Structure 1
Amino acid sequence: MNGPVVVGVDGSESALTAVEVAAREARLRGVGLHVVHAFIWPTMHVSLGPSPSGPREGGLRNAAERMLADGVARARETEPGVEVTGDLVTGEPLSVLEAQSRDASLVVVGSRGMGGFIGLLVGSTAVHLAAHGRCPVLVVRGDARASGPVVVAVDGSPESDAAVGFAFAEASARGAELVAVHAWNTWTERGDDDPGHPQNLVDGLDRIRAGEERLLAEALAGWQDRHPDVTVHRRLVERRIRQALIAETENAQLIVMGARGRGGFTGLLLGSVSQALLHHAHCPVAVVRGDRP
Structure 2
Amino acid sequence: MIVGVDGSASSLHAVEVAAYEAYLRGVPLRIVHAFGHPTGRLPTGAPPWHPGDQGLESMAHGTLARAEERARKAAPGLVIHRSVVPGDAFEVLDAEARSASLAVVGSRGLGGFAGLLLGSTAVHLAAHGTCPLMVVRGRPDPVGAVVLAVDGSEAGEAAVRFAFSEAELRNAPLVAVHVWNTWSERAYEGPGDPLNAMVVDADHLRESEQHLLDDTVSKWQKEFPQVTVERQLVRSRIRPALIEASRSAQLLVTGARGRGGFTGLFLGSVSQALLHHAECPVVVVRGPATP
Q: Same fold (TM over 0.5)?
A: yes
Kept in 2: contact 1:149–1:177 (CA 8 A) = yes
Name the structure 2 match of 1:21: 17
What's the CA shift for 1:198? 8.3
Matches within 5 A, 1:134-283: 134-185=130-181, 186=186, 187=188, 189-192=190-193, 199-283=196-280
Mapped to 2, the partners of 1:113 and 1:46 lie a distance apart of 26
Change in Cα spacing, 1:265 to 1:12, as seen in structure 2 (3 Å) is same
Q: For 1:253, what is the secondary structure of its paired residue? A: strand
- Structure 1 residue aligned with 2:110: 114
- CA–CA distance in structure 2, aligned partners of residues 123 and 138 of structure 1: 16
Matches within 5 A, 1:26-45: 26-41=22-37, 43-44=48-49
Is the CA contact (8 Å cut-off) linking 2:243 and 2:278 kept in structure 1?
A: yes
Pick one of 64, 69, 72 that aligns with 1:68: 64
Closer/same/farther in 2, CA of residues 161 and 275 from structure 1, 3 Å limit: same
Task: Report the Cα distance in structure 2 between the residues aligned to 1:208 and 1:8, rounded to whole angstroms.
Answer: 43
Once the 2 structures are TM-superposed, how far is the Cα of residue 221 of structure 1 from its aligned partner? 1.2
What amino acid sits opposite 1:244 in the alignment?
Answer: A
TM-score by length of 1: 0.88
Query: Aligned partners of 2:242, 2:149: CA distance in 1, in Å?
Result: 7
Query: Among residues 75, 78, 93, which one is paired with 1:79 in the alignment?
Result: 75
Over the aligned positions, Cα root-mean-square deviation in angstroms equals 2.2
Structure 2: distance between partners of 1:198 and 1:250: 23
Deviations 1:155-201, CA, capped at 9 Å, x for gaps: 11123211111000001110111111111113464444xxxx68442
Q: Given the superposition, is the C-alpha separation of residues 292 and 144 from structure 1 closer, same or farther in structure 2, using an over 3 Å criterion?
A: farther
Unmatched runs of 5 consecutive residues or more in structure 2: 38-46
Could you tell which deviates more after superposition, 75-84 or 274-283? Answer: 75-84
CA distance in 2: counterparts of 1:292 and 1:102, whole angstroms: 18
Code of the residue aligned with 2:77 in structure 1: it is G
Tell me the percent identity: 57
Amino acid at match of 2:53: L
Shift of 1:47: 4.5
Residue of structure 2 equivalent to 1:48:
53
| Structure 2 CA distance for aligned equivalents of residues 121 and 38 of structure 1 | 16
Q: 1: distance between equivalents of 2:189 and 2:67?
A: 44
Which moves more between the two structures, 264-273 or 227-236? 264-273
Partner Cα separation in structure 1 for residue 74 and residue 23 of structure 2: 10
Q: Is the 8 A contact 1:110 1:126 kept in 2?
A: no
- 93 and 262 in structure 1: CA distance in 2 versus 1, 3 angstrom threshold: same
Letter in 2 for 1:180: A
- How far residue 124 of structure 1 moved from its aligned partner, in angstroms, is 3.3
- Where 1:235 maps in the other structure, the secondary structure is strand
On the 8 A contact 1:122/1:278 being kept in 2, the answer is: no
**Structure 2: distance between partners of 1:190 and 1:78:** 46
CA distance in 2, matches of 1:209, 1:252: 25
Aligned residues: 274
Displacement, 1:43?
Answer: 1.4
- Note the residue ranges of structure 1 that are not aligned, 5 or more in a row: 50-58
CA distance in 1, matches of 2:142, 2:20: 10
Tell me, yes or no, if structure 1 residue 288 matches structure 2 residue 285: yes
The whole-number CA distance in structure 1 between the counterparts of 2:26 and 2:142 is 18
Partner of 2:227, secondary structure, is coil
Normalised by the size of structure 2, how large is the TM-score? 0.88
- SS class of match (2:48): helix
Q: Name the CA distance, whole Å, in 1 between partners of 2:29 and 2:289.
A: 20
Instruction: Give the conservation status (yes or no) of the 8 Å contact 1:135–1:292.
Output: no
